[in-house]
Structure 1
């Protein structure tokens, strides 16, 4: 899957809506410096639209696979993915960035559509594949969010994306735990082995607190 490339040059203005602090995944609600950049560039808008569909990819895939296998992880995490979508939509709405959400299993982005089709086909074969798909999606999500965070100086977007990353790390941990309980192992597909090991060896995080 193609990841968005970093794009430079941003403008800075004062202020950050207080409610966005609620999305933060750490206990430090301050950002470095006295000025916070809340200007949304074209690249920032594209990143938000991409992540809206990637979070939808997770929700839709987990909904499909949960209906097939009745695995607790899918039942629980699909609800969290809806909250992730809502967080991204909040930024889109706040900044008057238009978007269209298609029906379940349908995507505007052809790359994400292709991923969805591949994931549901593979995950439909057996429970083991389904859990691997869940880990793949969270693995990918963490990396894509990291790339977008590195590519922006927009403080509002960084806070939301860091919160989504926190949730995705917990989701990955949960899927991998289920995979290992079934007697199998997961090899990271997008994360580096070092980053993956840090996530799996850590405990679940308290996101937003």
Structure 2
């Protein structure tokens, strides 16, 4: 009888852990979650290839780019969605940094400086995104969605270049977070009467992410919850076309205004 009670108690604790983890995800805080399995545990340790090492260094700065753009646009617009997602991007940086430390790699020295990047390409992209997003609330929200689409595409590319389970686990968490964030930004655009069109990923993939349920099991209502009280602010005047943000490489940030969609490429090209 005692064994049955102990087993039942462990089951309850396990279910409680899943509930806590789900609640953390719905708040946009996907990492770290003390109740979730640590996918970068020592048993997954293996030598890194040059591509795997380069991917970690690049991704920590790409997550920083998202954080820094959102912090800057929060100061510009006052929209709480940017403040909340910037906090989530910091947790994403921390997740990648945990792997950088584990594999004895050297992290960029500028991670604590908002708007300053070691990667010159990302520096240029940051400057252009901030300029674009500062034009209006709608432009700012489209920049946020553009960043999240690009993150998803780049994470897909880096995941395909690694067979290390710890790296793949972290990238999977980051991708789920980017999908949540994309839903949050498009929910904000919906509240302003703006229909969102894919800028980097295929339209069908974006539609799937924004649908009621997708591969990571999240619901579209997530975007409205993360957006918080900014939803329902009414329609705001702004640009209803494609984002005109442009960068130095990659289909998502290159090309003339209104030609961002369907390229299938991210910041890295």
What TM-score results when the alignment is normalised by the length of structure 2?
0.63
CA RMSD between the two structures: 2.1
Residues 40 and 202 (structure 1 numbering): CA distance in 2 closer, same or farther, change over 3 Å? farther
Structure 1: state its 5+ residue gaps: 1-18, 25-34
Specify which structure has the bigger relative contact order, considering alpha-carbon pairs within 8 angstroms and separated by 6 or more residues: 1
Structure 1 equivalent of residue 138 of structure 2: 128
SS at match of 1:202: coil
> Is this contact kept in 1: 2:57–2:108, CA < 8 A?
no
> How many equivalent pairs are there?
178
Contact in 1 for aligned 2:71/2:82 (Cα 8 Å): yes
* 2:148–2:181 CA contact under 8 A, matched in 1: yes
Q: How far apart, CA to CA, are the structure 2 residues paired with 1:37 and 1:90?
A: 13
* 1:162 CA drift (Å): 0.5
Corresponding position: 1:81 with 2:94? no
In structure 2, how many angstroms separate the alpha carbons of the residues matched to 1:160 and 1:20?
Answer: 12
Matched, 1:153 2:169: no
- For structure 2, the 5+ residue unaligned runs are 1-34, 220-269
The partner residue of 1:38 within 40, 43, 46 is 46
State whether structure 2 residue 72 is matched by structure 1 residue 56: no
Q: Judging changes above 3 Å, is the alpha-carbon distance between structure 1 residues 58 and 88 closer, same or farther for their aligned structure 2 residues?
A: same
Cα offset for 1:87?
Answer: 0.1
Once the two structures are superposed, what CA deviation does each residue of 1:164-200 show, in whole Å capped at 9, x if it has no partner? 0000000001101111111112211111111111100
| 1:21 maps onto 2:37 in alignment | yes
For 2:193, which of 183, 187, 193 is the aligned residue?
183
